[in-house]
């Protein structure tokens, strides 16, 4: 198993999106048939031979030095997430390379206790596939439509693309959908041997055209902080800030916490949600 096809698709898609003008190049003539930059132009910008860059874009990143990867990333104007993805693709290039220890199959008791003690904000643990192996009570109340599904662990991507309620639940569904696929693509670069992820991608590509189109774009993204916009079936609209923290002792697992500014409408809605959740449990 190797990742040549992934490397080829990623590099060629990044090259295709940059015009000569964006790269600071001047070209003459009207019969330019290549979308974006030519391979020779990327090679010149990166300071490598055309033959060597063509080898890289054919998927052969094995042995590429850090300086070469940096030069190619600069020529293609990659952002931080894309640079990391290129590094991951290089690290896992070649048959049998880059195998990683998968995330812990179960969330540790200490982490579960932390979630239990977080009573005023929604908090949950996820992995790179979008599974939610653990969540506190308020997170389950916030994501009630997703947790309605009997299968465990619940999965953000399955809910986003296969459950018709998702487009109503997330007021910013288009952004959520793009972020979800981009994070899965990032994870696939980090660990191309994750069979569960491969199976999930295959399922979603088969069942959702929206997912299939986004997956083919080869976009990657870092998901650290921002705002999520919900339309909850009980308490209505909420705009919640989120922060994500990797669990250093459990590679591949991330803790996500959501909150609202004190005294805001969303803060009031969270308190109402907490009361509704307590009543539902009783």
pLDDT in tens, 102-135: 555 679 999 999 999 999 999 999 999 999 999 9
State the average pLDDT over residues 157-172: 97
**Could you give the 3-state DSSP secondary structure of residue 252?**
coil
- Provide the pLDDT for residue 31: 67
- Provide the pLDDT for residue 28: 58
| Residue 37 confidence (pLDDT) above 60 | yes
- pTM summary value: 0.89
H or E stretch including 126?
A: strand 123-126
User: Taking the chain, what is the end-to-end CA distance rounded to the nearest angstrom?
Assistant: 52
Integer Cα distance of 239 and 278 in angstroms: 22
pLDDT tens sequence across 209-241: 999 999 999 999 998 999 999 999 999 999 999
98 backbone φψ class: left, alpha, beta (φ>0; ψ -120 to 50): left
Phi (first) and psi of residue 238, to 5 degrees: -135, 140
Number of other CB atoms surrounding residue 34 within 10 Å: 12
Closest CA to 42 of 86, 98, 3: 86
Instruction: Show the tokens assigned to 22.
Output: 């964006």
List Cα–Cα distances, 61 to 143, 155, 189, 208, in angstroms: 41, 32, 13, 31
What percentage of the chain has pLDDT greater than the value 70? 93
| Residue 281 confidence (pLDDT) above 80 | no
- Provide the pLDDT for residue 94: 67
Phi (first) and psi of residue 252, to 5 degrees: 100, -15
Query: Whole-number mean pLDDT of the chain?
Result: 92
Integer Cα distance of 235 and 273 in angstroms: 6
In order of their start, the domains of the chain are 4-91 (1.10.260.40), 109-281 (3.30.450.180)
């Amino acid at each position: 198993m190797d990742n040549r096809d992934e490397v080829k698709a990623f590099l060629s898609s990044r090259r295709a999106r940059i015009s000569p003008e964006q790269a600071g190049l001047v070209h003459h003539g009207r019969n330019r048939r290549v979308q974006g930059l030519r391979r020779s132009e990327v090679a010149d910008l990166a300071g490598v031979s055309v033959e060597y860059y063509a080898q890289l874009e054919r998927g052969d990143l094995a042995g590429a030095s850090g300086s070469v990867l940096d030069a190619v990333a600069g020529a293609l104007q990659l952002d931080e997430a894309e640079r990391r993805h290129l590094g991951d693709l290089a690290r896992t290039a070649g048959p049998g390379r880059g195998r990683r220890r998968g995330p812990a199959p179960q969330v540790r008791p200490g982490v579960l206790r932390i979630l239990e003690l977080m009573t005023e904000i929604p908090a949950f643990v996820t992995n790179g596939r979008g599974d939610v192996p653990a969540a506190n009570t308020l997170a389950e109340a916030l994501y009630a439509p997703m947790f309605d599904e009997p299968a465990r662990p619940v999965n953000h991507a399955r809910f986003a693309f296969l459950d018709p309620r998702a487009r109503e639940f997330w007021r910013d569904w288009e952004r959520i959908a793009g972020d979800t696929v981009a994070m899965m693509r990032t994870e696939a670069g980090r660990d191309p041997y994750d069979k569960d992820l491969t199976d999930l991608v295959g399922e979603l590509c088969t069942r959702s055209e929206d997912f299939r189109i986004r997956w083919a774009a080869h976009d990657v993204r870092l998901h650290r902080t921002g705002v999520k916009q919900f339309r909850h079936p009980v308490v209505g609209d909420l705009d919640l800030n989120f922060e994500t923290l990797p669990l250093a002792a459990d590679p591949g697992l991330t803790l996500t916490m959501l909150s609202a500014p004190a005294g805001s409408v969303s803060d009031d809605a969270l308190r109402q949600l907490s009361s509704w959740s307590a009543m539902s449990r009783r």
